[in-house]
Structure 1
Amino acid sequence: MKNTIKTLALATVIAFITFSFTTVNTDKKEINTEKSKVIWKGYKVTGSHEGTITIKSGSLHFNGEVLTGGEFVMDMTSINTTDISGNMKDKLDAHLKNDDFFSVNAHPTASLVFKDVKASGKNAYTIIGDLTIKGKTNPITFSISIYGNKATTSLKIDRTKYGIEYKSASIFESLKDKAIYDEFDLVADLEF
């Protein structure tokens, strides 16, 4: 009986030591920033505008075929409007980069770090991440789909959580048709 207890105790200690030093085999796949695309769309009472933002760097982390994490850095100085041209485009691009919106001189990048990844279906995941814009970090929940070496996702972001309050109807009640909605969309088509 004593030998059986000693054997079980030894087996437990060996198993504990083995699992303590076993690492998860994570494969970090870098995002191809040239082939990936991020489109933004902002809404106002009288319409909307859209454009692009460049990914500076990013990666998705996998354990085999299963997504386990990820992180991205966006180049906020690259904000570009694509639905208008000429002088109007130049004015809007400059306005988005100034302190009314993204303050790109002080905050040239924004980041997203995955904190929790849960499978939600075949090739689909629900992500809880930390999104940092203008130096302010807030949690965000979104879905991502992965097919081969491509991923797609869309995020709805409340700009007021990041100190972007310019013409916000929820803050300035008298704006009427000059209001800009608080939420904007980001849609990303990623290749890795």
Structure 2
Amino acid sequence: MKKNFATILFISALIISVTACKDKAKEATTTEAETPATTETTIDHEAYLVNTAESTIEWKGFKPTGSHHGTITLERGSFNVANGKIVGGSFIIDMTSIVVSDIPADDKDNAKLQGHLSSADFFDVEKYPNASFTITGLKEVDGKLMLSGNLSLKETKNNITFPVTVSNIDGALTLTSDAFTIDRSKWNVKYGSKSFFDNLGDKFINDDIELKIMVKAAKS
């Protein structure tokens, strides 16, 4: 009986593990920072200003006992567009706008988590109120549009590449990413990371942070 019960537990754990791996977003290709995309003076390009009220970054963090999710907003940004296509751009991310969505806003644990994420343990928003993303390239790879850019977070800058879809209709541009992850340890966000600390047991927090970006902009 005990053997059968152990077998059932093992199979259940295996199913959960396979499902989790299947559902996990792919990590963005991460390399050293690159030279930003530039728009040559010979190209007739237009500026599209980001509508910060209609743009958002969704985030999700993971630990052995579950996950948390929420949003971050953009402070400002713009795209450079030539012949209807994005050829450059940059965005300022308001790190003070971190919101926790999976815990009721009036629950004290919401403020506790939001405060911890904002603290020096994680993103230290008092010292680093902004992060930034600067486009370095946009090209089609195997039928998928891939956006590359330098992500500056705290005092570290890396280039990341992830899949996006772009629509540009009558001067209204929308860029939406697939869900992807970044490895926070590559930006020296160390709290609870097994990349920096040993003997954490099951108290660790996963290095991967899942992101999904939606940016709306209009011709200026």
TM-score when normalising by structure 2: 0.73
**Displacement of 1:169:** 2.1
Match of 1:175 among 176, 194, 200: 200
Q: Give, in angstroms, the shift of residue 33 of structure 1.
A: 0.4
Structure 2 counterparts to residues 111-190 of structure 1, below 5 A: 111-120=132-141, 125-148=145-168, 149-153=173-177, 154-190=179-215
Unaligned runs of 5+ in 1: 1-20
What letter is aligned with 1:92?
A: L
Task: Name the residue aligned to 1:69.
Answer: 88
Aligned partner of 1:18 in structure 2 is none
Q: Is the 8 A contact 1:46 1:178 kept in 2?
A: no
Counting aligned pairs with the same residue, the percent is 37
Cα deviations by residue, 1:2-48 (Å, 9 ceiling, x for unpaired): xxxxxxxxxxxxxxxxxxx9611111211110111211111111111
Q: CA RMSD in A?
A: 1.7
Q: 2: distance between equivalents of 1:95 and 1:39?
A: 18
Question: Residues 85-107 of structure 1, C-alpha deviation per residue, up to 9 Å, x if partnerless?
Answer: 21000000000000000000110
The 1:36/1:166 distance shift into structure 2, 3 A limit, reads: same
CA–CA distance in structure 2, aligned partners of residues 99 and 143 of structure 1: 31
Structure with greater contact order relative to length (CA < 8 Å, sep ≥ 6): 2
**Secondary structure of 1:107 counterpart:** coil
Answer yes or no: is 1:89 the counterpart of 2:122.
Answer: no
- What is the TM-score with the length of structure 1 in the denominator? 0.83
Distance in 1, matches of 2:175 and 2:154, equals 26
For this pair of structures, how many residues does the alignment match?
171
Separation in structure 1 between the aligned mates of residue 180 and residue 49 of structure 2, nearest angstrom: 20
Larger Rg computed on CA atoms: 1
SS in 2 for 1:116: strand
Separation in 2, partners of 1:61, 1:81: 32
Query: 2:67 pairs with 43, 48, 62, which one?
Result: 48
Q: How far apart, CA to CA, are the structure 1 residues paired with 2:214 and 2:148?
A: 19
- Report the CA distance shift for 1:125/1:174 in structure 2 as closer, same or farther (over 3 A): same
- Where structure 2 has 5 or more consecutive residues not aligned to the other structure, the ranges are 1-39
